[in-house]
Structures are given as structure tokens and as C-alpha cells.
Structure 1
Amino acid sequence: MATQIDTLVTARWIVPVEPENTVLEKSAIAINAGRIVDILPTDAALERYSAGETHELGDHVLIPGLVNTHTHAAMTLFRGMADDLPLMTWLQDHIWPAEQQWVAPGFVEDGTRLAIAEMLRGGTTCFNDMYFFPDHAAEVASAIGMRANVGLIVIDFPTPWAQNAGEYIHKGLEVNDRFRNDPLISCSFAPHAPYTVSDQPMRQLATYAEELNLQIHMHVHETAFEVDQAMEQHGQRPLGKLSAMNLLNERLLAVHMTQLDEAEMDLVAGYGVHVVHCPESNLKLASGFCPVDTLLARGVNVALGTDGAASNNDLDMLGEARTAAQIGKAIANDPSAVPAWQTLRMATINGAKALGLDADIGSLEIGKAADIVAVDLMQPATQPVYDPVSQLIYAASRQQVSDVWIAGKQLLRDSELTTIDQEQLITLAEDWRLKINQS
């Protein structure tokens, strides 16, 4: 007698990511109560299981949901507002003033909803955010059914969210308490950067992170200017400062890391720091190049993020993966560097590891959450298929993502969002453009 399950998804290929370098052909994933209960050949699956829903995706590849390990989701509402500028000019003269004027709960809710819609349509099932009003971002994600790690932001100067570092930390602790039992929401501390958060709150965060078992998500060594300024003001590079405060450990997600010397790469590797690579934002802001291949060779866990849509200008993880692979080869001067398989891991399991979520997401394995993405490879741009992973990284576009499940719930069906009203969302975005333009 067939075993009753909620959902059965069959496909031409399954790329589980774990075990490495594995491609399963004509196979199926059985889902029940939001988790993967079996992965097996399609013929055997149809005999063994009776599913409430069966999805036959004969020309698709199934992969784990993509993990966008660095975002500022609500900043989608600033997309295209200030382009072609150096980082500090962009921040100080455009973004920070706009945030002071516009950032509020409604802005964060609408911007986060827009970001989630874009990410779901591109195969992202989990994002790691850093922005103000994280409680409102978490509410939106949870209501939609999106998996999110929300950053409990800390910065020295006043913003609409808090007035000083102490208030940021207090409010962040309240957000963590509020969402600790939400199955889709996790939290991390998110001090903006070593140059915007002073020593005392940094040390507090190190203590709280250890006590509460939370990650720390921070921009580090993003530009040469940042490093030079730290040397002028403190006589010490930012990573040295973080090391002195016991912040270099397996809890730290160091974002960007474009300015690294050999000793610093050894330091990061020795302490188990996770590096989050955002190649397209770094290229657009001319911030520099993260030495991904060298870091990987040292055993560093390198994950991928898009950064915010105000500096990328999209939240396209498949596009980010392609850029990461290509620029990684150019930096290493080696066409075998940062290969397709490694890049897919950076976009999935490596991001999950950085967030401490790899026991639950990042690969397609029995017992893990059913966060699954289907990509249609039966398109001119991805034919013929000699290697589905090569096609995913070097040829496929996010428009080929057809279906997305998070914890077994289908949030994208035949390229249509199931929990978001897309027309209403686009109207909201246009309303925000008109308001911001008139200011």
C-alpha cells in the first residue's frame, strides 16, 4: 500500500548539493509536513507514495533554495535613485539623507515585500537582511512564507529606528525574543561596520552573541578608503580591531572583504570567519575584488549575497553566481578557479552554514526542510544540456525559475507568486517613487 504524503515533485535532474558533485536523473522528491522524506527514482516514487499533489517537471532541474546571505531588502524602494557614484558619496550624500526622510515601518514593509517578490521569482528561499525596523521585515517575511534571518542593526548615530547604540541593542534583543519561536525567522546582530560602531557596543555584541548563540553580520574591509581611514585614525586595520575585541570567530559573517592581505586571509581562515561575497555591488561601486579562490583554498566558507537593490541593482542570485564564477577566474588568472559546482555551493549550502542553518536548509537531503527550486532548462539559452550545473551557473536566467517551495509550501507556481499580489505590489512601488521624487 502506498504511503500518503503531501507532495511529490518529479524532474529530469536533481542537484542535491550534498553529496558534492551529484546529479540524479529522472528522480523525485517526496515531501511531507514541510520536510523532505525521500529522494528516489521517479518510477519507484510513483509506486511507493500517494501524494496530495504531484508536480511532474520533466525538463527541469531541482536545486536547493538559494540563500542570499547579504541584503538590505527594504532598499528596493531606492533602486536606481543614486547610481554611478563612489561608496561614501553614495552613502553620505544620497542614501543616508533619504533614509532619514523616508524610512519608517510602512517603508520597510513595502520595500521588503517588493524584495521578497523579486527574490522568490529568482529562486531565493532565504535572505539575510540588515536594515532598520527588523521586526516589520520579519513580520512581512513570515506572513508571506519566506525564510529570513533579520539583522538586529547597530550603528552609533541616530536613525528613525533608534537614537544610540544602547537603544539599537535593546530593541534588537526585543526583536530576537519576539521571533525566537517562528520557524521561518532567525536573527543575527548586525553592526553596520567597524567605522560606524564604536568599541563599547562592539564588545557588548560579542558577549550577547555568545550568550544567545547568534551570528554577527557586518560590512568589513569593503573599500580601500575604509582601511586607510582606520589606519589614520586608529593605527590599525579593521580586522585587527575586530580581532582585539574577540569578534573574529565562527559567528562572524564578514561582508565584502575586498581589501585583504595574506596575513588577514590566514587570520580569517584560522578563526573560522565566514566571508560573504557580493561581486556585482563591489563592481558597481568600484569597491575592489574579494580574493575568493584564495580564501576557498585556505578553507574559508565563502557565501554569496546580492547586497541591496540600491547598489546592485537587482536581487538576482543566479546572476550573482555567474558573476562570482567569472570574476573569480579573472582575479585568480585561472579558468579553473571558482568552478560552477563551487559557485552553486556558495549560493546554497555555504550561505546556510554562514547563518548556522545548514542542518535545515542549503541542500536537498532527507530530513531537511523542503526548500526547493525548479529551473526550466528546456529553453533555447540552456540547450543542449551536457551538465545541468554548468547550465545553471553560466547560461540560465532567473526567468527560468518556474516553481519554488519553502518548508513544503509552494510560493511560486508556474512562475506566478501564490502569496503576494504582484499587481498591487507594483502599484505600491510606483506610489513610493512618486513620493520620493516629489521630495
Structure 2
Amino acid sequence: MSATVDLIIQPRWIVPVEPATTVLEHHCVVVDQGRILDVLPQGEASVRYQARRTEHLGDHVLIPGLVNLHTHAAMNLMRGIADDLPLMRWLQEAIWPIEGKHVSPAFVADGTLLAAAEMLRGGITTCNDMYFYPDSAASAFHRVGMRAVIGIVMLDFPSPYASDADDYLRKGLAARDQWRGSPRIGFSIAPHAPYTVSDAGLERAASLAAELDLPIHIHVHEVESEIDTSIARYGARPLTRLARLGLLGPGLIGVHAVHLDETDLALLSHHGCNIAHCPTSNMKLGSGIAPLSALLERGINVGLGTDGAASNNRLDLFQEMRHAALLAKAATRDAATVPAHAALHMATLGGARALGLDTQIGSITVGKQADLCAIRLIDPLMQPCFDPISHLAYVAGREQVSHVWIDGELRVQNGALLLQIAHKELLGISTLWQTRFAN
């Protein structure tokens, strides 16, 4: 007798991510009560299960939902506002002044809503966010049903959001308390960077993260001047300083990590840290090329991040997969470095592992949440397809994403968002803030 289930998805191929390099052809994924119940050949599924809904995707490859390991979602409102500037000029001359004038709960809610819609359409089902007004960000992600880890941001200097490090923490922890128990909204401790947070603040961040069992999300070693300043001010490179203050460990997500020497790599490996690799942002800001091959060779877990739309300017993990793989090959002059499946792993299970969510998401594995993404490969521009994993890293783009599920709930169908958010509303939000910036 067949069992009744909520959903059966029948694609041409399934790339489950684990085991590595596996491609299942003419298999299906069985979903019930938001979880993956089974992965089996389509002929067997028709005997064992009766589905309330069946998706026949004969020209598609099904993968886990993508995990954006680093972004500033609300900065979607600043897309393209300060292009072609190096990091510190970009921050000091453009971004920080704009934020000082305009950042508010409404700014964060609207910008995050735009970002969430963009990410969902591109197959991103989970993101790791860092910005002001975390409660407003959480509300926007909750509205679209997206999975998100929200940073409790810390800075030593004031902003429209908070006056000092203690105020940032107090407000961020209050937001965490408000969202406690939400199945899709989690939190991290997010000191902005070693150069914007004091020793006392970083020690407090490490203590809170340990006490609350939260990851630490921090920019680190993004540009060479950051390292020079740290040596002059603290007598140590930033990662060495973070190690002394107790921040390094399996819960640390170090963002960018472009300029690393052997000591830095040894510290990251020894402490089991994670890296959020943001190749497009690193290129656009002229920050450099992160030593991705060296990180992976040492067994350091790496996920992919887009950074914010003000420094990328796309929240597009297909772009990040391609740039990560190609830049690594160019930097090492080794075409075998970072093969296609390694890029896909970083965009899925690597990001999930960094967030401590790898038992829930990141691969198409029985028992995990049904966060899934289907990519349509039938377009003549995508043909022929000898290896769907190769296509995912080197050919497909977010425009080929056709269906997205979170907890087995359909969020994107045939490339269109299935949300109670009108296209007109999203355009209105963008126009409103563009007009405000101009005045």
C-alpha cells in the first residue's frame, strides 16, 4: 500500500551535493511535512508513494537551496551608488555618510525585502546577514518565508541605530529575544571588523557567542591596510589578535580573508574556523584574490557570500561559484583547482556548515529540510549538457532558476515569486529610496 505524501519532485537530474560529485538521473525527491522523506528512482516512487502534488521537471537539475554566507541585505537600496572606489574610500566617502543620513527601521525593512526577493529568484534559500536594525531585517525575511541568520552587529562608533558597542548589543539581543523560537530566523554575534571594535568589545562578543551558542560573523583581512593598521596599533595581525581575545573557533565566520600568510592559515585551520569567500566583491573593490586553494588544502571550511549589492552589485551565487572557481585556477595556474563540485559545495553545504545548519540544510539528504532549487537546462544556450555539475558552475545563471522551495513550500514557480508582494510594490520601494537619496 502506497503512503500519501505532500510532494514529489521529478527532475531529469538530482545533484545532492553529498556524496560528492554524485549525479542521480531519473530519480525523485519525496517531501512530507517540510522534510525530505526519500530520494529514489522515479519508477519506485510511483509504487511506494502517492503525492498530493507532483512537479514534473524533465529538463531540470535539482540542487539544495543555495546559502549566501555573507550579505548586507538592506544595502540593496544602495546598489551602484558608489562604484569604482577602493574599500576605505568607498566606506568613508560614500557608504557611511549615506547610512548616517538615511538608515532607519523603514530603510532596513524595505532594503531587506528587495534583497530577499532577489535572492529567492536566484535560488538562495538561506542567508547570513549583517546590518543595523536586526528586528526590521528579521521581519522582512519572515514575510517572504526565507531562512536567515541575522547579525547582532557591533561597532565602537555611533550610528542612527545605536550609540556605542553596549547599545548595539543590547538592542540586538532584544531583537533575538523577540524572534526566539522562529523556525527560520536565527542570530549571530556580528562585530563589524577588528578595526571598528575594541579589545573589550571583541572579548564581550566572544563571551556572548559562547554563552548563547551563536556563531561569530566578522569581516577580517579584507585589505592590506587593515593588517598594517592592526600591527601598528595592537602589535599583531588581526587574526592573531582575534585568537588572543578568544574569538577563533568552529563558530567563527571570517568574511573575505583575502590577505593571509602561513601563520593566518595555520590559525584558521587549528581553530576550525570558517571563511565566507566573496570573490566578486573582492574584485570590484580591488581588495585582491583570496587564497582559496590554500584554505581548502588545509581543510578549512569555506562558503560563498555575495556581500551587499552596494559592492557587488548582484546577490547572485551562480556568479560567485563561477568567479570562485575561475579565480582560484588563475591564481594557482592550475586548472584542476576548485573543480565544479567544490564550487557548488561552497554555495550549499559549506555555507550551511559554517552556520551550524548542516544537519538541517545544504544537501539533498533524507531527514533534512526541503530547501530545494530547480534549474532549467533545456534552453539552446545551455546545450549540450554532458555534466550537469559542470553546467551549474560554468554555464547556468540565476535566470535559469525555475522553482524554489523552502521547507517544502513553493516560493518561486517558473521564475516568478509566489509571494504576497506585488512586483509594483518592489519597484515602488526602489523608486522611493532613490528619490530620497537624490534630495
Provide the TM-score with structure 1 as the length reference.
0.99
2:293–2:328 contact (8 Å) kept in structure 1: yes
Q: Give the aligned partner of residue 429 of structure 1.
A: 430
Deviation at 1:435, TM superposition (A): 1.3
Question: Offset of 1:173 from its aligned partner?
Answer: 1.5
Equivalent residue for 2:351?
351
Q: Which residue of 1 aligns with 2:171?
A: 171
Contact 2:36 2:366 in 1 (8 A): yes
Matches within 5 A, 1:219-234: 219-234=219-234
Contact 1:11 1:28 in 2 (8 A): yes
Say if 2:117 and 2:144, in contact at 8 Å, map to a contact too: no
Q: Distance in 2 between matches of 1:95 and 1:233?
A: 25
What is the 5 A alignment of 1:117-132? 117-132=117-132
- Describe the superposition over 1:117-159 as per-residue Cα deviations: whole angstroms up to 9, x where unpaired: 1111111000000000111111111121100000000000111
One-letter identity of the residue aligned with 2:134 = P
What residue in structure 1 maps to residue 308 of structure 2? 308
CA distances 1:168-191 after superposition (whole Å, capped 9, x unpaired): 111121122222200001100110
Give how far 1:422 is off.
Answer: 2.0
- DSSP 3-state at the match of 1:348: helix
* Letter in structure 1 aligned against 2:425: Q
Q: CA deviation at 1:52?
A: 1.4
Alignment map for 1:125-204 (pairs within 5 Å): 125-204=125-204
The answer to whether the aligner puts 1:19 opposite 2:19 as a matched pair is yes
After TM superposition, list the pairs within 5 Å mapping 1:270-281 onto structure 2. Answer: 270-281=270-281
Provide the C-alpha distance between the structure 1 equivalents of 2:34 and 2:382, rounded to a whole number of angstroms.
Answer: 31
SS at match of 2:167: helix
Deviations 1:68-96 (CA, angstroms, capped at 9, x unpaired): 00000000000011100011111011100
Counterpart Cα distance in 1 of 2:39 and 2:422: 33
Separation (CA, whole Å) in 2 of partners of 1:266 and 1:377: 41
Q: CA deviation at 1:423?
A: 2.3
Superposition pairs of residues 51-70 of structure 1, within 5 angstroms = 51-70=51-70
TM alignment of 1:31-42, pairs within 5 A:
31-42=31-42
1:382 positional shift: 1.8
Which whole-Å CA distance do the structure 2 matches of 1:4 and 1:143 have between them? 30
What secondary structure sits across from 2:207 in the alignment?
helix
Q: Specify the alignment match of 2:216 in structure 1.
A: 216
Q: Distance in 2 between matches of 1:276 and 1:118?
A: 20
Shift of 1:236: 1.3
2:381 and 2:432 map into 1 onto residues whose CA distance is 35
Q: How far does the alpha carbon of each residue in 1:368-421 deviate from its partner, in whole angstroms, 9 at most, with x for none?
A: 000000000111222111110001100011100000000111100111101132
Q: Is the 8 A contact 2:5 2:32 kept in 1?
A: yes
Question: Percent identical across equivalent pairs?
Answer: 51
CA distance in 1, matches of 2:156, 2:197: 5
Q: Deviations over 1:322-367 (max 9, x none)?
A: 0000001111111100110001000000000000000100001111
For 2:368 and 2:79, locate their aligned partners in 1 and report how far apart those are by CA, in whole Å: 35
2:26 counterpart SS class: strand
Residue aligning to 1:334 = 334
Following the alignment from structure 1 to structure 2, what is the Cα–Cα distance between the partners of residues 385 and 359? 31
1:212 and 1:234 mapped to 2: Cα distance?
28
**Aligned partner of 1:76: which letter?**
N
Superposed CA offset, 1:260-306 (max 9, x none): 00121111101101011000000000111110011100000011000
Give the Cα separation in 1 of the matches to 2:422 and 2:274: 36
Aligned to 1:108: 108
Distance 1:317 1:4 in 2: 35
Secondary structure in structure 1 of the residue aligned to 2:428: helix
2:411 equivalent in structure 1? 411
Offset, 1:47: 2.0
Whether the 8 Å CA contact 1:381–1:396 is kept in 2: the answer is no
Structure 1 range deviating more: 323-332 or 413-422: 413-422
Question: Over aligned residue pairs, what C-alpha RMSD do you find?
Answer: 0.8
More divergent stretch after superposition (424-433 vs 105-114)? 424-433
1:268 aligns with 2:268: yes
* Structure 1 runs not aligned, ≥5 long: none
TM-score, reference length from structure 2: 0.99
Q: Distance in 1 between matches of 2:308 and 2:336?
A: 29
Aligned to 1:293: 293
Question: What per-residue deviation string (whole Å, max 9, x for no partner) do you get for residues 193-251 of structure 1?
Answer: 00000111111111111111000000000000111111122221111110110111111
Distance 2:288 2:239 in 1: 17
DSSP 3-state at the match of 2:160? coil
Letter in 1 for 2:394: Y
- CA distance in 1 between counterparts of 2:22 and 2:108 reads 40
Q: What amino acid maps onto 2:274 in structure 1?
A: H
| AA matched with 1:105 | P
Of 41-50 and 332-341, deviating more is 41-50
Give the conservation status (yes or no) of the 8 Å contact 1:70–1:127: yes
Taking the aligned partners of 2:41 and 2:428, their CA distance within structure 1 comes to 44
